[in-house]
Structure 1
Amino acid sequence: MPSPAVAHDDPRPLVLHVLYRLQVGGLENGVVNLVNQLPSDRYRNAIVCLTESTDFQQRIQRDDVRVYEMHKKPGQDFGLWRDLYKLFRQLRPAVVHTRNIGCLEAQIPAWLARVPCRVHGEHGWDVSDPDGSNRKYQWLRRAHSPLVHRFIALSRELESYLLERVGIKADKVSRIYNGVDNRRFAPGDSSALPEGFVDANSVVFGTVGRMHGVKDQVTLCKAFIQLCEQHPALQPNLRLVLVGDGPLREICSDLLDNAGLPDQCWLPGSLDNVPEVMRGFDVFVLPSQAEGISNTILEAMATGLPVIATDVGGNSELIDIGRTGVVVPPNSPTAMAEQMAIYAGNGPLRHTHGEAGCERIRRQFSMAQMLSAYGGVYDQLLDKRGSA
């Protein structure tokens, strides 16, 4: 852990964002967007990683944001509490904002260090608790709740979970949807797909996300194979793009190869030019078995794409069903293939739903709305408890 640069004479309150690991992911992307765009004349920001950071921190655009790595040991590491306590006492943050169950324990050293304002965000389910039914995790949230001044839920489902299953009081819970940077994600021509992969008649189905666990790109591959088999007239023009890396990548590649479709599919791994690649899609598909609030759905709508997503988590809150896209049951390649066939054969429908998605982003899920909501929570807590 580097020696912290302490600036106690700076009148701007310091917000410490506590993450498990700073890596490619929706939660992490949301935090980076927040620290990049919160008004610099009102707040200072720093990020604390309980484990470590990655090259993803290069997406931080402000030169005054420090990243601290705590190098947490596997399992229960009580030494982490000591190190966090020391860091909090040195930096004197006005706000400590933890995210998800893996960082909740950082609320204990924040309380011991007398951090004035303590916030905890729920961004989505843990991989070992995909539906929020884990009684231990419910108990942990309930046990830590006296230390937390405000819980932030990123979807209606997560808000209901905190209120009804964990038992948090309503006046301690705020719901804030993610905002999308529609300067980066916007409709436009794309040359980021491989040369010769598409032509004027192609219909490209694409997804973006880590290829493991509940993200379930395998279901999307099975749906694409069914689509090609059941619609031979459409089949030559169909394309599939899976952006992301992880253990499911090889499984998906083998599935598509065995179906005789390798030339119609592109699995490039992780990419740095996702906005440009998404502009080459015609339809965005999210096959996840569980979600909180999906940044990629928002980014797809901002890009002008119709969306097919599984009916899990907050997906149905983001999609205006029948106007910007559709939802299908999870783990159902057949239902997914049916909706893919509808979009594949109807260009005007793709265009209409894509335009409606752009408008929905402008009205309800803009970055400005997200920044205002988080700033409002921080300001309210600071006004009530002071920033010293």
Structure 2
Amino acid sequence: MSRPGSAPLVAHLIYRLDFGGLENLLVERINRMPAGAYRHAVICLTGHTDFARRISKPGVELYALDKQPGLSLATHAALFKLLRRLRPAILHSYNLNAVEYAPAALLAGVPVRINGLHGRDASDPEGRNPKHRLLRRLMLPFYDCCYANSADMVAWNRQVIGVPERKSRLLSNGIDAERFHPLASGEVRPDFGFGPGLIVIGTVGRVQDVKDHATLLEAFALLRARLPQQAAQLRLAIVGDGPLLPALRERVAALALDGLVWLPGARNDVSDILRSFDVYAISSIAEGTPGSVLEAMATALPAVGTRVGGVPEVIADGVTGLLVAPRDANAMAAALARYVQDPSLRAVHGAAGRARVQTHYSMPAMVAGYQALYDSLCERKTIFRKSITSCVE
């Protein structure tokens, strides 16, 4: 257990701590949760990058288990030993990649075990893989809660996996609407080399299969062909790092779009970059609640997104943005064209998007929701209450 007299320890188990929406919000929650409520450790099944430096809260320990491909039973053993040493009050695992480690946590004596569904892999965007479903079902008895960050995912957990209502919960993402804000009246738009008088379509996210940036790139090429008079004004920005970034750069060259597409890799100035965009686009084939879209909406950008996962819960079609089918470059190009041709529509939908974020997706509400989950599960575990004075303030 946690040390006597100290705040309970939450061990966050994640596949890899790197640039991404899930990872960014994990760090935000750690940094913002009251110091006297819980301590935190982050355990990476594989490893981590410099992204870990974004953890600003003092005393947060970081571990890497260097998991090898495949089952890797040695990783289960390594986690068991680490948990026995750390004695956390809570194991909080994230997504399918970490769901199988609850038995090791139970054997190590971790009283509370939580798994979060924040999205699916590109290899199984609709959650139909029978082996993955079976694994989730087998792990259900070992978890006290299997939450999701979108209503779509909550329903899937209950109806397909069989998560009982008492173990199910919706925990929506939150956005810092003070950090992510639109340009003030008279403020000069940040310049990242786009130049004046241009219309910048942008996206932010890890460059991997599930984000399907290839379709966005194709849609941009189709958009230029569809609007020849405005083609010279159009630019595309894809911000983020990932395994497919080299291939994406090659595709840009193959489409003769050099100089028109900005691929800067991972950046730490995303809030400024968003204020340089005119339209936000997300081409994912699977999503939970996309934090990047919420950040864009908080910046008063209209959003074009794919009708998958929790995206339709965030983007109100025809109100804060436009929804299209996944993997449909023509449909995405057509939606983007509406915003290119109608600046007033961009402004109206952008303002509605910021209002929606401020009302439904506040950062304090997100942090409070997770803390309330921790508190309620700690209170439920009577053996835990005997070991720790209190899990709630």
State the TM-score, normalized to the length of structure 2.
Answer: 0.92
Counterpart residue identity of residue 364, structure 1: H
Structure 1 counterpart of 2:59, from 58, 64, 71: 64
Does the aligned pair in 2 maintain the 1:218–1:251 contact within 8 Å? no
- Could you list the runs of 4 or more consecutive aligned residues of structure 1 that deviate by over 6 angstroms after TM superposition? none
Aligned-residue offset at 1:343:
0.3
Partner of 1:31: 26
Do structure 1's residue 208 and structure 2's residue 204 form an aligned pair? yes
Structure 2 counterpart of 1:354, from 350, 372, 388: 350
Deviations 1:157-191 (Å, cap 9, x if unpaired)? 21111111111111110011111122332212566
Counterpart residue identity of residue 28, structure 1: E
Aligned-residue offset at 1:256:
4.1
Q: How does 1:6-21 map to 2 (within 5 A)?
A: 8-21=3-16
Q: Partners in 2 of 1:102 and 1:256 — Cα distance?
A: 31
Counterpart residue identity of residue 55, structure 1: D
Partner of 1:86: 81
Counterpart residue identity of residue 44, structure 2: C
Partner of 2:125: 130
Residues 43/83 of structure 1: CA separation in 2 closer, same or farther (3 Å cut): same
Q: Partners in 2 of 1:45 and 1:258 — Cα distance?
A: 46
Residues 356/18 of structure 1: CA separation in 2 closer, same or farther (3 Å cut): same
Structure 2 counterpart of 1:194, from 192, 195, 213: 192
Does the aligned pair in 1 maintain the 2:278–2:301 contact within 8 Å? yes
Aligned-residue offset at 1:10:
3.6
Do structure 1's residue 156 and structure 2's residue 147 form an aligned pair? no
Does the aligned pair in 1 maintain the 2:92–2:116 contact within 8 Å? yes
Does the aligned pair in 1 maintain the 2:2–2:88 contact within 8 Å? no
Aligned-residue offset at 1:367:
0.7
Instruction: Return 75-84 or 296-305, whichever deviates more.
Output: 75-84
Instruction: Return 223-232 or 59-68, whichever deviates more.
Output: 223-232
Deviations 1:184-229 (Å, cap 9, x if unpaired)? 322125665433x221x32110111222312111111211111111
Q: Partners in 1 of 2:81 and 2:246 — Cα distance?
A: 44
Residues 224/378 of structure 1: CA separation in 2 closer, same or farther (3 Å cut): same
Partner of 2:285: 289
Q: How does 1:133-148 map to 2 (within 5 A)?
A: 133-148=128-143
Does the aligned pair in 1 maintain the 2:17–2:52 contact within 8 Å? yes
Counterpart residue identity of residue 71, structure 1: D
What secondary structure is seen at the aligned counterpart in 1 of 2:40? strand
Structure 2 counterpart of 1:45, from 40, 48, 51: 40
Structure 1 counterpart of 2:111, from 90, 113, 116: 116
Residues 259/47 of structure 1: CA separation in 2 closer, same or farther (3 Å cut): closer
Partner of 2:390: none
Structure 1 counterpart of 2:301, from 299, 305, 314: 305
Partner of 1:3: none
What secondary structure is seen at the aligned counterpart in 2 of 1:174? coil
Instruction: Return 180-189 or 314-323, whichever deviates more.
Output: 180-189
Q: Partners in 2 of 1:133 and 1:356 — Cα distance?
A: 35
What secondary structure is seen at the aligned counterpart in 2 of 1:263? coil
**Which consecutive unaligned segments of at least 5 residues does structure 2 have?**
388-393
Partner of 1:168: 163
Does the aligned pair in 1 maintain the 2:2–2:8 contact within 8 Å? no
Residues 73/236 of structure 1: CA separation in 2 closer, same or farther (3 Å cut): closer
Counterpart residue identity of residue 50, structure 1: L
How many residues are paired up? 381
Instruction: Return 236-245 or 372-381, whichever deviates more.
Output: 236-245
Q: Partners in 1 of 2:243 and 2:144 — Cα distance?
A: 39
Root-mean-square deviation (Å): 1.8
Counterpart residue identity of residue 127, structure 2: G
Do structure 1's residue 262 and structure 2's residue 258 form an aligned pair? yes
Q: Partners in 1 of 2:82 and 2:244 — Cα distance?
A: 38
Do structure 1's residue 314 and structure 2's residue 310 form an aligned pair? yes
Q: Partners in 1 of 2:48 and 2:5 — Cα distance?
A: 26
Does the aligned pair in 2 maintain the 1:157–1:313 contact within 8 Å? yes
Structure 2 counterpart of 1:325, from 305, 321, 326: 321
Q: Partners in 2 of 1:256 and 1:13 — Cα distance?
A: 49
What secondary structure is seen at the aligned counterpart in 1 of 2:101? helix
Does the aligned pair in 2 maintain the 1:306–1:354 contact within 8 Å? yes
**Which consecutive unaligned segments of at least 5 residues does structure 1 have?**
1-5
Deviations 1:246-270 (Å, cap 9, x if unpaired)? 4544444444445544333222222
Residues 291/42 of structure 1: CA separation in 2 closer, same or farther (3 Å cut): same
Does the aligned pair in 2 maintain the 1:123–1:153 contact within 8 Å? yes
Q: Partners in 1 of 2:2 and 2:146 — Cα distance?
A: 28
Residues 255/129 of structure 1: CA separation in 2 closer, same or farther (3 Å cut): closer
Partner of 1:242: 238
Aligned-residue offset at 1:86:
1.9
Do structure 1's residue 372 and structure 2's residue 349 form an aligned pair? no
Residues 132/79 of structure 1: CA separation in 2 closer, same or farther (3 Å cut): same
Percentage identity across paired residues of the two chains: 39
Does the aligned pair in 2 maintain the 1:218–1:248 contact within 8 Å? no
What secondary structure is seen at the aligned counterpart in 1 of 2:100? helix
Q: Partners in 1 of 2:206 and 2:23 — Cα distance?
A: 13
Instruction: Return 252-261 or 90-99, whichever deviates more.
Output: 252-261
